[in-house]
Amino acid sequence: METAERKIDLFEVAEIKLSYSAIVKNSLRPKVSSSRQVYEVFAKAWDQDGIEFVEDFKVMLLSRANLVLGIVNISSGGTAGTVVDVKLVYAAAIKANSSSVILAHCHPSGNLLPSEQDKRLTQRIKKAGEILDIPVLDHLIMTAEGYYSFADEGDF
């Protein structure tokens, strides 16, 4: 039996092509410049029937001019928490060509104060963003009746 030998050229590499195709014109994108505006945009994207039921974690992707490129649902969990994979946060940010991100998650309990776990997660995501040059501008805790901004409260 003869085996077919293939010669491998180590100087040839697969080509990877990066592209970005916007669906929405910049003039139609909302611009955010305060935590209140961020809350209002997130609130429109949140399932209001589920905000008091399960904990969700979302990321707002922003252009350099703070135009909203999109909102990505990273995870959905139970009544007391959800698992957030930092790689998924930045995979979405890189794919959308984001210049920065804003994090948000809901507390079904209605409690607006961040837990120690919320603070640790925020710091982990911020560290990854520093390395990738995609900073986290804020992290909001959402409830049916209001929000808590890490940046406004000095927890950043």
8-64, pLDDT tens digit by residue? 777 777 776 666 677 888 888 999 999 999 999 999 988 877 777 888 999 999 999
Residue 85 lies in a domain: yes
CB 142 within 8 A of CB 51: yes
Structural domain of 89: 31-149
Residue 79 lies in a domain: yes
DSSP 51-75: TTTS-EEEEEEE-TT-BEEEEEEEE
Q: Helix, strand, or coil here: 95?
A: helix
In the chain, count of helices (H) and strands (E)?
3, 5
Please state the domain count of the chain.
Answer: 1
Residue 80 lies in a domain: yes
* CATH number of the structural domain spanning residue 105: 3.40.140.10
Residue 24 lies in a domain: no
Q: Note the pTM of the prediction, 2 decimals.
A: 0.85
Residue 51 lies in a domain: yes
Q: What is the pLDDT of residue 120?
A: 95
48-68, pLDDT tens digit by residue? 777 778 889 999 999 999 999
- In the chain, pLDDT over 70 holds for what percent of residues? 91
